[in-house]
A and B are shown apart, each in its own frame.
Chain A
């Protein structure tokens, strides 16, 4: 499974990065490829490439604020959740996505 996504939070950046770590680590556990772009107060980091997007099965937007560049994901299934969901229960989130995609 190839998952890409964006994490972003209302203030600071700690939640943004923690969500990124959790999603990537959980992906590893499940044997998935997970690439996450962060949009924090420091701007965009770890930007997704056109190739990442093309290969993606699903896009996760784990954000509490509006993020930029979502038009890049046209035609892809997009799952939107609050950033806290990605931090608190990343495995549940990824498994739910898998179920939805397999339907």
Chain B
């Protein structure tokens, strides 16, 4: 399974009105829950915070990749948002975050799947040009297709 297989054009919000990290995580988890991808939204949020407590998920360049690996997840998925304003997030560059990718992975002994998806996401988001262009996208479809083209270029090669 790769990241593109779980990317869902309905799980993108390019104009999210949140002002804190907690609001962003809860809103993204809510999107996953509404889609039926979670068994237990609160259990999932707990797992995300457990991971946050180990170390920063802000990768620098306005990007954060929080994630939860737990049985509270029914279906591997990723919810994406661009926030209306920068939000505080523990980051490598100590700068706030605009673009958040929340990964939800079932804890079914496929931990390597989870790692591979994080790795694939990191490979696409390592480039500032990619991030800048993704931030400029106006529609979910545009974002989805651009992400897919970067993925093909960076990961499938």
Contact = CB atoms under 8 A, between A and B. Distances in A.
Interface residues of B, number: 23
Contacts of A9: 55
A25 B65 CA distance: 21
B123 A21 contact: yes
B122 to A, nearest CB: 4
B154 to A, nearest CB: 8
B115 A21 contact: no
A10 B92 contact: no
Nearest to B69: A12
A25 B150 CA distance: 14
B59 A13 contact: no
A15 interface: yes
A14 B118 CA distance: 6
A18 B125 contact: yes
Interface in A34-86: 40-42, 84
Q: Which of A16, A18, A22, A40 has the most CB of B within 10 A?
A: A18
Interface residues of A, number: 19
Nearest to B56: A15
A41 B126 contact: no
A49 B55 CA distance: 32
Interface of B: 51, 54-55, 57, 59-60, 65, 67, 92-93, 111-112, 115-116, 118-119, 121-123, 125-127, 154
Given A15-B59, A41-B115, 15 more contacts: A10-B54, A11-B54, A12-B51, A15-B92, A15-B122, A17-B118, A17-B122, A18-B122, A21-B123, A22-B126, A25-B126, A40-B115, A42-B116, A87-B92, A88-B93
Interface of A: 9-18, 21-22, 25, 40-42, 84, 87-88
Minimum-distance CB pairs A-B, first 7: A21-B126, A17-B122, A18-B122, A17-B119, A42-B115, A14-B122, A11-B54
